A and B are shown apart, each in its own frame.
Chain A
Amino acid sequence: MTDNPLATSLKRVHFEEGLQKKILENLSAYEEKKSLQPWATIVLVTSLVTIVILWLLEKRKTHVD
C-alpha cells in the first residue's frame, strides 16, 4: 500500500474489533442454514401431505357414516 498522508488518514479510521471473525461466522451460519433447507422442505411437504390424507380419510369416514 502506498504510504502517503491520505492513506495514513484512511488507515486511522477504526472499524469494529474482530470484524473478519464476525463475517466468517455469519458466512458459516449462512452455509449451515442453506444446507438444512432441503431437509426443511422435505419435512414440510411430508407434513402437509399427511395432513391432507388424514383430512380426506376423516371426510370419507364422515360421509360413509
Chain B
Amino acid sequence: MDLTRCVELYTDLIVRTAFTYVKNRADAQDIAQEVFLALLLHKKEFESDEHQKAWLLRVTINKSKNHLRSHWFQKRVALNEELTDMDGDHLELLEAFMKLPEKYRTPLHLHAYAGYSIKEIAEILGKKESTIGTRLSRARERLGALLGEDHDG
C-alpha cells in the first residue's frame, strides 16, 4: 500500500493510539508524523496490508513509550484540561480509561477501538494470547471499578 493511502487510512488509528499513551493531543500528532516518517524510510516490503498496519501500530507504541521516557516529557496539562470540549459521560469514561496501567490500557484500546482480536493483539504486542486475555479481562474489571468508585464518591 502506498504512503498516501496509508496516511489516509491509518492516521486516525495511530494518533488515537499515541494519545492513549501520552495523553496529550499535540504530542500524539507529532508521534503520528514520526511514525509515517519511519514508514517512508522503511525499506522492506510488507507481506500484506494487515502486516503493514500491525507494524505501524508497533512503531506507534514504541515511539509513544520513548516519548514518555524522554527528558523533556515532564509536567503536562491534566487530561480534563486537555479535553475541555468533551461532555461529562465521555470525559469520565476516558479519564477512568487513562488511569488504567499501560499494560491494561493498550490491549483494551486495540480491542475496543481498533477491533483487534486477542490473537492479533498478542502478535502486535509480542505477548501470549492467554496474557492478553487476562489483561483484557482485568482492564474491564478495573475500568468498571474506577467508574463505580467515581459514581459512589
* A15-B113 contact, Cβ under 8 Å, with A10-B94, A23-B33: no
- Shortest CB-to-CB span from B140 to chain A, Å, is 10
Say yes or no: is B93 at the interface (Cβ < 8 Å to chain A): yes
Identify which of A1, A23, A31 contacts B113 (C-beta below 8 A).
Answer: A1
The bracket for how many chain A residues form the interface is: 20 to 34
Task: List chain B positions with a Cβ less than 8 A from chain A.
Answer: 3-4, 7-8, 11, 15-16, 19-20, 25, 28-29, 32-33, 36-37, 40, 83, 85-86, 89-91, 93-94, 97, 108-109, 111-115, 143
Contact present for A13 and B19 (CB under 8 Å): yes
Task: List chain A positions with a Cβ less than 8 A from chain B.
Answer: 1-2, 4-16, 19-20, 22-24, 26-27, 30-31
Chain B residues lying within 8 Å of A7, measured Cβ to Cβ, are: 112-113
Identify which of A2, A9, A22, A31 contacts B40 (C-beta below 8 A).
Answer: A31
A17 to B89, CA, bound (A): 24
- Shortest CB-to-CB span from A31 to chain B, Å, is 7
Chain A interface mostly: helix
**Can you sample 21 A-B contacts with CB below 8 Å?**
A2-B115, A5-B93, A6-B108, A7-B112, A9-B86, A9-B89, A10-B20, A10-B94, A13-B16, A14-B85, A15-B28, A16-B25, A16-B29, A19-B11, A23-B7, A23-B33, A26-B33, A26-B37, A27-B37, A30-B37, A30-B40
A19 to B25, CA, bound (A): 12
Contact present for A10 and B3 (CB under 8 Å): no
Chain A residues lying within 8 Å of B8, measured Cβ to Cβ, are: 20
Contact present for A6 and B97 (CB under 8 Å): yes
